[in-house]
C-alpha cells in the first residue's frame, strides 16, 4: 500500500510514542467501571455493618472489614445509601448545596456507590465538584527537589529557589537511598532560605522516613502507600492496620502526614481482581480515611502510564481526586510524573486540576530539569516555569507559583548553598568546596555542577544517623555559623511540631508561620461571587511576568 503522507506525518507525532491499550477488565485495564465491580449495598445490624457492596461480613477481606468498621459513618449509612447516585452527583455540582451538606451525606455511602456517583459526572462536572469540595480555600502547589547526583548543595539551592517561586511544600528523594539524611538536611535548610514556612519531606523507605521525621529533619511525610486489593498490601508486608499504626507514629510526634495511592498500582502489581481502577482507588481512599490520615496524594501518581493508556483514564484520575475531597481528605493531586511525550496532552491533563484548583495541584512539580527528577520525571519541570506563569496570567488562575527575578533567584540559591556548606563543616560532615557553591548557584541542573565525593557523602550520611543528629543540631549549627535568620526559621518549623495545628486537614504555613488549613480557612465556594478569587496583590503578582513589551521601547 502506498502510504499517505498525511498519515505518515501524524504517525511521527509525539503522542504516538505514548503507550495505549484496549480495555481488558480481567487484568484491570479499565478506568471508570468494570463489569466485575460490585453493586452498591449496605446492611447494618446492632450498630455493625454486616453487608458491604454485595459481600457478607464473613466474606470480607481485610480491606472490606477496615472500611466497614472505620471509614463509613454507620449512623448515616442506610439513609445516605437510600439517596440515588444521580441525585448525589447533582448535589455535587449544584452551587446551592454547600460543601458541608455534600460531605456529610457522602460520609455514609459505600465505595461501590461512590463509583456509581462518579460515573454520572463528566470532566467539567468533576472540575465543578473539585472547585467546591476542595478542603482549603486557597489552592496550593508542591515541588519535587532532586538531582541525579543526590548533590545536597543543589538540593538546598533548588529548594530555596522553589520556595521563593511559591511552592508551599517541597519533597525530595534519592537515586542512592543511603543519601537520605543529607538530602533531608539540605532541603530543610534550603526551603527556609527561599520562603519561611515551606514544609519539606524526604521520600524514603518507611522506617527511614519515619526516623528522619522524628528527628525533625523533615516537617511532613507523604509516602505511606495504600492499595485497593489485599494481595498488593500483603506483597508490601502491610495491612490497613499497619498503615494506621504508622500514621499514629507520625501523629504522636506532631508531624503532618498524608497517604499515597492511585489508579494502576494494582494493575502494575498484577493483582487487580478484575475491578476498575476507580473502584480500587475508592477502596484506598476509604482506607486512608479510616486510618485517620488528614489527606492523600492521589491521581494515579507514579502509575499514570496505566490509566493514561486506557479510554477515559484521565477522567478517572480527576474522579479519584474528587473522591478524596468528598471524603474530607486533603488532596495532593499528582501531576507529578511524566505522562506523555506530547506537550499538548500533558498540559491538557494538568488543566483538570489547575483550573478548579486543588489543595496541591502538583505533588509535585519538578523544580529542576526533568533529567534531574529522581521520581523518574514529573509532568512539568523547571523548564516549564515561564509557561506555567503565563497560564496563570492568561486564565487568571492561581496555580500556586509566581514570576521571579534573576537577581533574587541567584541570591537565594547562593545563600542556601553557603548555609549548607557552613552546616556541613560545623557538624563535621563531608566537605563542600567554594567552587561547588559557586557552580550550583548559577546551575540549571546537575550537568552544570562538579561531581561529589560519593563515598565521603555516604559516610557522612551514615554518621548523621549514628550520631543522632536532629533538627535542633541544625538550628544550632546555623546559628553558630552566622545564619541566625535561617536558624530562626528552622526553629519555627520545629515549634510547629509542638503546637500541632498544622496537622489539621490540608494545612500549609504562610511566611509568618500561620497555619492555613481546611479548618481555619475552609473552602466556602457556592457559585459565582463566592470562594477563592484571584484578586488584589496576588493578581498583581501573577500579572507581572518577565518579557513584557515596554511601549516606550518601540
Partner 1 sequence: MQINDELIKKISQILAEELGGEKSQSGSAVPSLSGRDRINEKKSDYSSYPKANKGTNPKEIVIGVGAAFQREIKRTICNIPLDDVLKNIKAGIEEEGMVARVVKILDTSDVCFMALEAAKLSGSGIGVGIQSKGTTVIHQRDLYPLSNLELFPQAPLMTLETYRAIGKNAAKYVKGEQVVPIPCTNDPMSRPKFQVKAALMHIAETEQLDPKLGIIEWEGK
Verify whether residue 238 is a known catalytic residue.
Answer: no
**Does the active-site annotation cover 183?**
no
Q: Are the C-beta atoms of 182 and 464 separated by less than 8 Å?
A: yes
Question: Of residues 116, 150, 151, 222, which has the active-site annotation?
Answer: 222
59 carries an active-site annotation: no
CB of 150 to partner 1, least distance (A): 8
Report whether 168 contacts 508 (CB < 8 A).
Answer: yes
Strands of 55-56's sheet in order across:
42-45, 48-52, 55-56
Residues 253 and 500: their CA atoms lie apart, in Å, by 9
| Per annotation, catalytic residue among 206, 336, 398, 457 | 336
Query: 131, 144, 261, 316: which is the annotated catalytic residue?
Result: 144
**CB closer to partner 1 out of 98 and 231:** 231
Question: Across-strand partners of 143?
Answer: 170, 365
Question: Catalytic one among 85, 192, 261, 297?
Answer: 297
Closest separation between CB of residue 372 and partner 1, Å? 8
**In terms of DSSP H, where are the helices of 36-177?**
62-66, 74-82, 85-93, 99-106, 111-119, 123-133, 152-165
Provide the binding-site residues for partner 1, judged by CB under 8 A: 7, 10-12, 16-27, 29, 148, 150, 175-177, 205-208, 235-237, 264, 267-271, 302-306, 308-309, 337-341, 370-374, 376-378, 381, 454-455, 458
Closer by beta carbon to partner 1, 340 or else 363: 340
CB of 391 to partner 1, least distance (A): 20
Q: State in angstroms the smallest separation of the CB of 221 from partner 1.
A: 15
SS3 letters across 389-404: HHHHHHHCCCCCCCCC
Distance of CA 342 to the CA centre of its chain: 23
User: Judged by CB, which is closer to partner 1: 12, or 547?
Assistant: 12
Q: Give yes or no: 294 in active site.
A: no
**Residue from 171, 266, 368, 384 carrying the catalytic annotation:** 171
Taking the least distance from each CB to partner 1, the nearer of 270 and 482 is 270
Element (H, E) at 265: helix 265-268
Q: Nearest to residue 190, comparing CAs of 222, 143, 253?
A: 143
Q: Which is nearer to partner 1, 245 or 527 (CB)?
A: 245
| Residue 363 falls in the annotated catalytic set | yes
Name the catalytic one among 85, 131, 192, 363: 363
| DSSP per position, 398-462 | --S-----HHHHHHHHHHHHHHHHHHHHHTT-S---HHHHHHHHH-SSGGGSPPP-HHHHHHHHH
Which DSSP category does 68 fall into? Answer: I
Pick the closer one to partner 1 by CB: 38 or 377. Answer: 377
If the CB atoms of residues 130 and 224 are measured against partner 1, the closer one turns out to be 224
Closer residue to partner 1 in complex, CB, 298/506? 298
* Minimum distance of partner 1 from residue 525's CB (angstroms): 34
Strand duo 220-225 + 42-45: pairing: unpaired
394 is catalytic: no
Task: Answer for the pair 224, 259: CB distance below 8 angstroms, yes or no.
Answer: yes
CB of 23 to partner 1, least distance (A): 7
Least distance to partner 1, CB of residue 457, Å: 11
Is 457 annotated as catalytic? Answer: no
- C-alpha 56/C-alpha 20 separation (Å) is 37
Give the separation between CA 386 and CA 395, rounded to whole angstroms: 14
Q: Rg of the chain over CA atoms, in angstroms?
A: 23
In the numeric block, which cell numbers belong to residue 230?
489485599
Do 316 and 263 contact (CB within 8 A), yes or no?
yes
CB of 335 to partner 1, least distance (A): 13
Residues known to be catalytic: 142, 144, 171, 222, 297, 336, 363
Amino acid at each position: 500500500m502506498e502510504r499517505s503522507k498525511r498519515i505518515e506525518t501524524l504517525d511521527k507525532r509525539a503522542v504516538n510514542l505514548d503507550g495505549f491499550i484496549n480495555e481488558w477488565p480481567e487484568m484491570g485495564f479499565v478506568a471508570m467501571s468494570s463489569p466485575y465491580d460490585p453493586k452498591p449495598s449496605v446492611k447494618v445490624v446492632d450498630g455493625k455493618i454486616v453487608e458491604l457492596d454485595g459481600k457478607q461480613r464473613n466474606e470480607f477481606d481485610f480491606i472490606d472489614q477496615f472500611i466497614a468498621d472505620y471509614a463509613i459513618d454507620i449512623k448515616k449509612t442506610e439513609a445516605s445509601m437510600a439517596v440515588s447516585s444521580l441525585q448525589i452527583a447533582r448535589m455535587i455540582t449544584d452551587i446551592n448545596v454547600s460543601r458541608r451538606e455534600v460531605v456529610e451525606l457522602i460520609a455514609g455511602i459505600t465505595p461501590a456507590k461512590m463509583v456509581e456517583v462518579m460515573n454520572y459526572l463528566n470532566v467539567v462536572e468533576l472540575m465543578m465538584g473539585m472547585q467546591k469540595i476542595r478542603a482549603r480555600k486557597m489552592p496550593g502547589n508542591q515541588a519535587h527537589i532532586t538531582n541525579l547526583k543526590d548533590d545536597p548543595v543543589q538540593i538546598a539551592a533548588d529548594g530555596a529557589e522553589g520556595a521563593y517561586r511559591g511552592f508551599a511544600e517541597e519533597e525530595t528523594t534519592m537515586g542512592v537511598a543511603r543519601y537520605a539524611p543529607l538530602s533531608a538536611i539540605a532541603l530543610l535548610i534550603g526551603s527556609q532560605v527561599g520562603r519561611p514556612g515551606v514544609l519539606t519531606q524526604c521520600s524514603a523507605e518507611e522506617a527511614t522516613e519515619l526516623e528522619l521525621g522524628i528527628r525533625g529533619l523533615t516537617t511532613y511525610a507523604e509516602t505511606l502507600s495504600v492499595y485497593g486489593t489485599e494481595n498488593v498490601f500483603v506483597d508490601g508486608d502491610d495491612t490497613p492496620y499497619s498503615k494506621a499504626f504508622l500514621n499514629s507514629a507520625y501523629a504522636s510526634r506532631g508531624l503532618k502526614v498524608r497517604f499515597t495511592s492511585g489508579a494502576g498500582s494494582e494493575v502494575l502489581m498484577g493483582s487487580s481482581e478484575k475491578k476498575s481502577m476507580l473502584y480500587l482507588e475508592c477502596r484506598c481512599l476509604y482506607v486512608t480515611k479510616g486510618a485517620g490520615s488528614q489527606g492523600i496524594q492521589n491521581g494515579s501518581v507514579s502509575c499514570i502510564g496505566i490509566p493514561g493508556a486506557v479510554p477515559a483514564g484521565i477522567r478517572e484520575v480527576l474522579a479519584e481526586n474528587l473522591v478524596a475531597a468528598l471524603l474530607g481528605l486533603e488532596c495532593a493531586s499528582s501531576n507529578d510524573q511524566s505522562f506523555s511525550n506530547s506537550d499538548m496532552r500533558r498540559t491538557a491533563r494538568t488543566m483538570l486540576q489547575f483550573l478548579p484548583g486543588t489543595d496541591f495541584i502538583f505533588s509535585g512539580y519538578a523544580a529542576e530539569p526533568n533529567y534531574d527528577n529522581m521520581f523518574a520525571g514529573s509532568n512539568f519541570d523547571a523548564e516549564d516555569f515561564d509557561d506555567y506563569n503565563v497560564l496563570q496570567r492568561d486564565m487568571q488562575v492561581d496555580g500556586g507559583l509566581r514570576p521571579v527575578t534573576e537577581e533574587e533567584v541567584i541570591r537565594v540559591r547562593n545563600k542556601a548553598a553557603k548555609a549548607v556548606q557552613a552546616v556541613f563543616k560545623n557538624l563535621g560532615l563531608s566537605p563542600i568546596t567554594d567552587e561547588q557553591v559557586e557552580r550550583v548557584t548559577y546551575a540549571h541542573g546537575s550537568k552544570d555542577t562538579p561531581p561529589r565525593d560519593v563515598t565521603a557523602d555516604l559516610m557522612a550520611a551514615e554518621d548523621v544517623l549514628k550520631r543522632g543528629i536532629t533538627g535542633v543540631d541544625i538550628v544550632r549549627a546555623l546559628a553558630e555559623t552566622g545564619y541566625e535568620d535561617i536558624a530562626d526559621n528552622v526553629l519555627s518549623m520545629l515549634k510547629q511540631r509542638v503546637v500541632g495545628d498544622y496537622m489539621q486537614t490540608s494545612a500549609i504555613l504562610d511566611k509568618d508561620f500561620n497555619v492555613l488549613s481546611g479548618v481555619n480557612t475552609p473552602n466556602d465556594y457556592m457559585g459565582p461571587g463566592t470562594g477563592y478569587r484571584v484578586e488584589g496583590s496576588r493578581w498583581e503578582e501573577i500579572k507581572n511576568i518577565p518579557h513584557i513589551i515596554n511601549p516606550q521601547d518601540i
